[in-house]
Chain A
Amino acid sequence: MGKSGSRDLIQGTLDMLILRTLLRGALHGYAIAVAIEQRSGDELRVEEGALYPALHRLEVAGLLKSEWKLSETNRRARFYRLTSEGEKRLQDEASNWERLAAAVARVMEAV
C-alpha cells in the first residue's frame, strides 16, 4: 500500500469520483487517474492498485461499460463509460456527499 497518508482515497469516494469523471465521456484507466489528480489540484492521488479493481467492481455492478478502442496515442486501450444506472448512482452519491460535506463543514466552523 502507498504511504501517502491523508491523500489516500477511501473506497466509496473513489467510486464516486470515477463516476463523476466519466460523466463527460468515455475514458481509459490512465486518463481517469490523471483527470482525478488534475481536477483535485494534485491533492488526490489515485493508486492503480485501487483504481482497476474499482473499475471492475463498478463494471460488474452494471454502473460502467467498457470497450477496447484506440487511444489518442493510437494504442489499444480499454475505455470506460457511464451507464444510465451509473448516472443515477452518481446523483445519489453526489447528493449524499454534499450533505455530508456540508455537515462536516458546519461542525468545523462551529468550533
Chain B
Amino acid sequence: MNWFLKLRKRRMLESELDEEIAFHRNMRASDAAAGIVPPPFGNPTRIRESMREAWTFGWIETTLRDIAFALRGLRRNPGFAAATIGSLAVGIGVTIAIFTAADDLLFRPMPYKDADRLVMVWEANPRLATAAHNVISPGNFLDWKTRGRVFEDIAAFSEYKTNLSDGERSEQLRMQSVSANFFPLLGVRPWSGRIFTEAEDLASAHGDSLVLISYRLWQSWFGGEASAIGRRIMVNSLPRTVIGILPPDFYFRNREVDLWGPIGIDPAKPYRKTSGRYMMAVGRLRRGVGLAEAQVQMTGLARVLEIENPVFDKNWTVLLEPLRSSLVRDVRKSLLLLLGAVGLLLAVACANAASLLVARNSSRRAELAVRAALGAGPARLTRQLITESAILAVLAGTGGILLGWYALAGLVRMAPEEITRTAKISMDWQIVVFALILAAATGLVFGLVPALIASGGVAAEMKRGNRWGSANRGSARAGLVAGEIAVSVVLLAGASLLFRSLVKLTNADPGMNPDNVLTLRFSAPPARYKEPQRGVQLFRNAVDRIGKLPGVRSASAVSYLPFDGMAAGTGVTIGGRPPALPGEQPNANVRTVLPRYFETMGIPIRLGRDFTAGDNTRESPIRFIVSEGFVRKYLNGEDPLSKTISVEMDHPNPFGEIVGVVGDVSEGALGKAPEPTVYYVHAHLPYAGMTLLLRTRGDPLGLAAPVRQILHELDPAIPVADIRTMRNVLGETYARQRFSAILLAGFSISALFLAAIGIYGVLAYSVSERTREIGVRLAVGADAGRIVTMVLTEGARFVLAGLAVGMAGALGLSRLLSSLLFDTGARDPIAFTAAPAILLAVALLAGFIPARRASRLDPVLALRME
C-alpha cells in the first residue's frame, strides 16, 4: 500500500478528529450552560496520542517522526553522537577485521570432503631440533600406505617452483606433484577434464607426462578456452599435456599453486638407498579412528620400520598432525591472542558507548519529564529512546563495516606471507550480518537499559523536582570507565612487550650483513642442461659477468638463501674417528655456494680461506667450509683445518679437507642456537637452481635490470624469479612478530583513545552536575588551582582503581605472550612501567579539560543556573 496516500489520509483524519473534539466540547459547554452536568473531558493531547496509535498506519508515521526527532537530537549534540558512533564503529570495525582473518584461518571449513579426518603425516626425529615436522621418504611412505591400518588412504605430494612456457611466453609458477589418489582422497573432482590414473602416475617417471591446471591459470594463460584441455605446454622445458582443470576454489596448503602433475612413486624402487626425505603426505583417517589412536598405531609401525631399516630409519618416527593445525601451527597462537585482544577492545568500545548513553539519558530526564507531561505515554517514550539507540547502532554498524573493510585490506597487506598463502581472507555476508547483530545488540542493550531506567524514573523524578541527578548512576559510569582503563592497561602492556621484543629481534645480529644485497633465483633446466657441469659453467659465467657490473662489489650464488625457510640437512662423518653409532652421527645443514659467497653475504671468515675459482671445478679435490657452530659442536676443540669430513649428500661421499671456518648465521629462528652448517662448492654438489647474490654500492634494486640483461644474454629461455633484497628476505622472518606487535599496538591505542573519551565524559558530566557546588566554592574564595585539583582528584579515584586492576590483569596475562617474545621477559620492567605511564599521561590530559572548564566558571552564573 502506498503510504504516502495513507499519510495524506492521515492528515485528513487528524483534522476530523480536531473537529470531533471541538464539537464535543461545544456540546459540553452548552449542556453546562443548561445546568446539565457534562461528562468529563480528558487531556486532548493524550487522546490524540492514543488515537494515532489506533490508526493502523500510525507506526510508520510514528517511526518516521521518531527517526527525524532522533536525528535532530544527534545533530544538536554532535560531540555525543560522534563519540558514541565512533567508539562503537572502532570496536565493531576492528572486531570484524580480526574475526574475518581468524575465521578464515581457524574456523572456516576447508574445501575438502570430511576435512576433519585429513591429517598431515610427517616423519620426526627427536634428536634433531629442526626435524619435528620433517618431510618424508618415499620408502617409508610406501610402507605406511600398505601396512598402516589407520588410513582409509594416504597420498604423497611435493611442491616446487616451475617455469611454464609455450615458446612465446614464460611464467614462473608453483607446482605440486601428487600421487594419483590425491584428488579422490581430498574428495575433489576436476571442474573440467579428468585426473590422471595410477598407471599414468607410474608412467610419468619416464617420458611424456600429464598436468592439471588451476582455474586461475586456465583463465589467465589459456583465456578460458575449452580447447585448453589436450593442449601441450612446456613445464621446466619438458612437454606436458593438459588433461583437466580444477575447481575455482580448490587449493591445497598453498593458494599460489597453479599446476598439478603426477609424482610417479614406483613401489619397485629402493628409495631408502637412492634418496633422502623430500616429500609430504596427507592421509585420511578411517571413520571412527581418533587422532590419538592413529598416532599410537603409526608410532608402532615406525618402530617396526626402524628395526627393518636400522640405518635409514634410525631414530625416525611418525607424527600425525591435523591438516588445519599444520597450516596455522605458528600463526594460531598469534591469532588467538589478537582475537582475545580485539574482544577486550570491543568491550572497551561498548563500555564507552554505554557510559555515554547513560550520561545522556540522565541529563535528558527533564526533557523526558516534559514530554511525559505533554501526553507521551511511557511506551511512547521508551520507543523514542529505542529508536535513537537503533539509529546509533545502524550508523555505528555501517561505520564499523566500512572501517572493518579498510582494516582488513590493511591487515592483508601487512600480514606475513605464511598467513596469506594458505587462506583467502575476505569479508563475506556472514561477517556483515555479524557486525550488524553486534551493533544492534550493543545499541539495544546499552540504549534500552538506560532508557528504561530513565523513563521509569521520570515520574518519581518529576515529583521530587530533582535536577541534580542521582549519585549512584555517576558511580556506575565511573565503574565502567575504570573497567575501560583496566582493559587498556592490559592491551598497552601486551603491546609494549611485543614492541620491546620486536626491537630486540630487529636488532639481533643475524651473523651476516643484509644491507645492499640483491638476490634473484635462476635455474638451469635439467632437461636442457643434462650434464650438471654445464649448469655449473652457466653460473660461473653469470657470476663472473655480474661481478664486473659497475656498482657491484662482489657477486656469488647459493643453493638456498639463509632465512628463506629451506635448507638441506644430512649426516656428516668426521675423518679419523670410529664410525658413529647409528643415530648419533653429527648432523648439519648443507649449502652449496660459489666462491666469494661469504664476502658477498657479509659472513666473516674466522679461520682458513674461502673457496677459490680453482676449487670450483670437478677435477679439484673435494673441500669443505664449516660454520663455527659445527666446530663447537662436533670437533671438541681440535684444529678444524687439520680435519676431513664426509657429508651424505651424494654417492659416494669421499672425505674432503676443511679449508675454512666461517661465522654462524642465526637462520631458522633468530635468537635460537644456529644450526651447524657445511658448505660445498658448486662443482662438487651441482644444484640446477641457485640464488644469485650481489653486494652493491648503492640501491640493490637499481641493479636488477642490468643483471636481468646479462642473464638473458646467457640463456634467453630461462626466466629470472624472486628478485628481492636480502633485507626483505630477513624482514619476512619476523613478519609475524611485527604483525602481532603492530596490531596489538593499534588495539591498545584505540582502547586508550576510547578510555580517554570515557574519562573526559565522566568528568565533564560530573562538572556540569556540580556546577552549583563549584560556584559556591568559587564564591567563598577557592582558587582555580584548588578546583582543578578537586576535579582531577575525583578522576584519580577511578583512574587509579582501573590502573591497579589492569596491572594485576596484565601481569597475570603476560605469561600467555611469553612464547611470542624474543629475549624479553614476560614481566619486562620497562614494558610494565611504560604502560601505566602512558595511560596516566593520557588520563591526566583527558581530565584536565573539564577540570579547567570548572575552574573558569563564573560563580554568579553558576549559582543562577537553577
Contact = CB atoms under 8 A, between A and B. Distances in A.
A48 B28 CA distance: 12
A98 B98 CA distance: 68
Contacts of A29: 20, 23-24
Contacts of B26: 75
B579 interface: no
Interface stretch (B43-51, B329-337, B525-533, B630-638): B43-51
A18 to B, nearest CB: 14
Interface string B4-36: 000000000000110111011011101100000
Given A29-B20, A49-B46, A77-B23, A2 B51 contact: no
B23 A75 contact: yes
A25 interface: no
Interface string A64-95: 00001001010111100000000000000000
A1 B40 CA distance: 11
Given A28-B23, A29-B24, A37 B54 contact: no
Contacts of B47: 48-49, 52-53
B42 A56 contact: no
A56 B54 contact: yes
A53 to B, nearest CB: 5
B17 A76 contact: no
B39 interface: yes
Contact of B40 (A30, A45, A52, A57): A45
Contact of B41 (A48, A73, A75, A76): A48
A53 B24 contact: no
A105 interface: no
Contact of A57 (B17, B21, B46, B54): B54
A51 to B, nearest CB: 8
B40 A2 contact: yes
B39 A76 contact: no
Contact of A48 (B16, B19, B31, B42): B42
A47 B30 contact: no
B437 to A, nearest CB: 35
Contact of A60 (B19, B21, B41, B54): B54
A68 B56 CA distance: 21
B55 interface: yes
A33 interface: yes
A92 to B, nearest CB: 22
A48 B24 CA distance: 9
B10 to A, nearest CB: 13
A34 B38 CA distance: 8
A49 B30 contact: no
Give the residue among A2, A29, A37, A53 with the most B Cβ atoms within 10 A. Answer: A53
Contacts of A30: 23-24, 27-28
A68 B16 CA distance: 10
A46 interface: yes
Given A48-B42, A56-B55, A76 B27 contact: no
Interface in B351-409: none
Interface residues on A, range: 20 to 34
A56 B23 CA distance: 17
A44 to B, nearest CB: 10
Nearest to A46: B39
Interface string B759-795: 0000000000000000000000000000000000000
Interface residues of B, number: 24
Contact of B39 (A28, A45, A77): A45
A109 B534 CA distance: 122
A78 B56 contact: no
A76 B16 CA distance: 11
Contacts of B16: 68, 78
A32 B16 CA distance: 18
A71 B30 CA distance: 14
Contacts of A2: 40, 42
Contacts of B43: 49
Give the residue among B16, B24, B39 with the most A Cβ atoms within 10 A. Answer: B39
Nearest to B17: A52
B30 A52 contact: no
Contacts of B30: 73
A37 B39 contact: yes
Given A30-B28, A52-B47, A47 B23 contact: no
Given A29-B24, A52-B47, A53-B54, A47 B19 contact: no
Nearest to B20: A78
B459 to A, nearest CB: 13
Give the residue among A2, A56, A60, A71 with the most B Cβ atoms within 10 A. Answer: A56
Nearest to A59: B54
A61 to B, nearest CB: 10
A4 to B, nearest CB: 8
A71 B31 CA distance: 14
A19 B391 CA distance: 43
Contacts of B56: 60
Nearest to B16: A78
Give the residue among B17, B26, B27, B43 with the most A Cβ atoms within 10 A. Answer: B27
A64 to B, nearest CB: 13
Contacts of B19: 76, 78
B819 to A, nearest CB: 68
A47 B46 CA distance: 12
Nearest to B28: A30
B377 to A, nearest CB: 11
Contacts of A71: 23
A33 to B, nearest CB: 5
Interface in B52-73: 54-56
Contacts of A75: 23, 26
A53 B42 contact: no
Contact of A76 (B23, B24, B54, B55): B23
A45 B41 CA distance: 11
B51 A56 contact: yes
A50 to B, nearest CB: 8
A37 B38 CA distance: 10
Give the residue among B20, B21, B30, B54 with the most A Cβ atoms within 10 A. Answer: B20
24 contacts: A1-B42, A29-B20, A29-B24, A30-B24, A30-B27, A34-B31, A46-B39, A47-B39, A47-B40, A48-B24, A48-B41, A49-B47, A50-B42, A52-B20, A52-B47, A52-B51, A53-B51, A56-B55, A57-B54, A73-B30, A75-B23, A76-B23, A77-B20, A78-B23
Interface of A: 1-2, 28-30, 33-34, 37, 45-50, 52-53, 56-57, 60, 68, 71, 73, 75-78
Given A30-B28, A52-B21, A53-B54, 19 more contacts: A1-B42, A29-B23, A34-B31, A34-B39, A37-B39, A47-B39, A48-B39, A49-B47, A53-B51, A56-B51, A57-B54, A60-B54, A60-B55, A68-B16, A73-B27, A73-B30, A75-B23, A77-B23, A78-B19
